[in-house]
Amino acid sequence: MGGLQVLEELYADEGFHVLGFYSNDFGKQGGTDEQIAEVTEKYHVTYPQFAIEPVSGDDLRPVFSWLLSHDNPGPKTGDVGPSWNFGKWLVSRKGDLVAAFDTRSYPGVDPNEQSFKESPIVQAIEAELAK
Amino acid sequence: MSKLYELQDRRVFPPHETVSMSDYEGQVLLVYNAAAR
C-alpha cells in the first residue's frame, strides 16, 4: 500500500479524500487505463482516480486550470503547478487551495513512524481537519 | 462557493464516468498528479 492510500484510510472518517489525476505529461510516459488498473490493484487504491488528461500546457484539465490560477501557497517553491509527477495540493473544506507540495514530499507508509507524524503533508491535513 | 465545485472530470473507473467536484464539497482534499504507468 502506498502512502497516499494510508492517508485516505487514516483520515477518511474525518472528511478527507485523496484525489488522483493521471496524465502522460512528463517523460513521455504514454500510460494507459489498463496500466492504471494494474497499479490500482497492486497498491490497493480505493480513493477516486481521474482519467488521463493533461495537467500542464495550454489544454489542461479543468481542476488543474483552477489550481494554476492560484498563487503558490507553499511550502513548495517556484510555480504552483506540477513540474513532474506526484505534485500534491491541499484543498480546505471551503474549497480553498491552502498548500502545495513538491514531487519529493511524501509521508511514508507507517503512521506510527515519527517521520510520518512530522511530515508537512500530514501536519497540514490534520490542521485543516481541525478547523 | 469555490469555483472548484463547478468543475467536472472523468474517473478512470467506472470507465470514464463524469463526476462533479461538488461531490467533494466540505471535504479536505489532497489532489495529486501521477503518471499513468
Q: Is the peptide bond before A75 cis (omega within 30 degrees of 0)?
A: yes
**Nearest-by-Cβ selection for B9 from A32, A63, A88:** A63
Residue A60: predicted pLDDT: 93
Compute the nearest-CA separation of A10 from chain B (Å).
Answer: 13
pLDDT at A77 over 80: yes
Q: Report the distance separating Cα A34 and Cα A66, nearest Å.
A: 28
User: What grid cell was written down for A1?
Assistant: 500500500
Determine the average pLDDT of the residues in A54-60: 91
Residue type at position A79 = D
Q: How sure is the predictor about A29, in pLDDT bands with cuts at 50, 70 and 90? A: low
pTM of the model: 0.95
Chain A residues 62-101 within an 8 A CB cutoff of chain B: 62-64, 66-67, 82, 85-96
What is the average pLDDT value for chain A, to the nearest integer? Answer: 94
Residue A52: predicted pLDDT: 94
Residue B37: predicted pLDDT: 72
Considering only CB atoms, which chain A residues are within 8 Å of B11? 48-51
pLDDT at A78 over 80: yes
Q: Report the distance separating Cα A85 and Cα A103, nearest Å.
A: 6
**Nearest-by-Cβ selection for A128 from B25, B28, B33:** B28
The closest of A80, A79, A29 to A54, measured between CA atoms, is: A29
pLDDT at A27 over 80: no
Give the tens place of pLDDT for each residue, B8-21. 999 999 999 999 99
User: What grid cell was written down for A121?
Assistant: 503533508
Considering only CB atoms, which chain A residues are within 8 Å of B15? 33
* B35 with A26: Cβ contact below 8 A: yes
Q: Report the distance separating Cα A90 and Cα B18, nearest Å.
A: 22
Residue B25: predicted pLDDT: 97
Alpha helices in chain A (DSSP H): 3-11, 33-42, 62-67, 114-117, 120-129
% of chain A exceeding 90 in pLDDT: 87
Compute the nearest-CA separation of A100 from chain B (Å).
Answer: 9
ipTM of predicted assembly, 2 dp: 0.96
Burial (CB < 10 A; 0-12, 13-18, 19+), residue A111, is: middle
The closest of A52, A5, A53 to A33, measured between CA atoms, is: A52
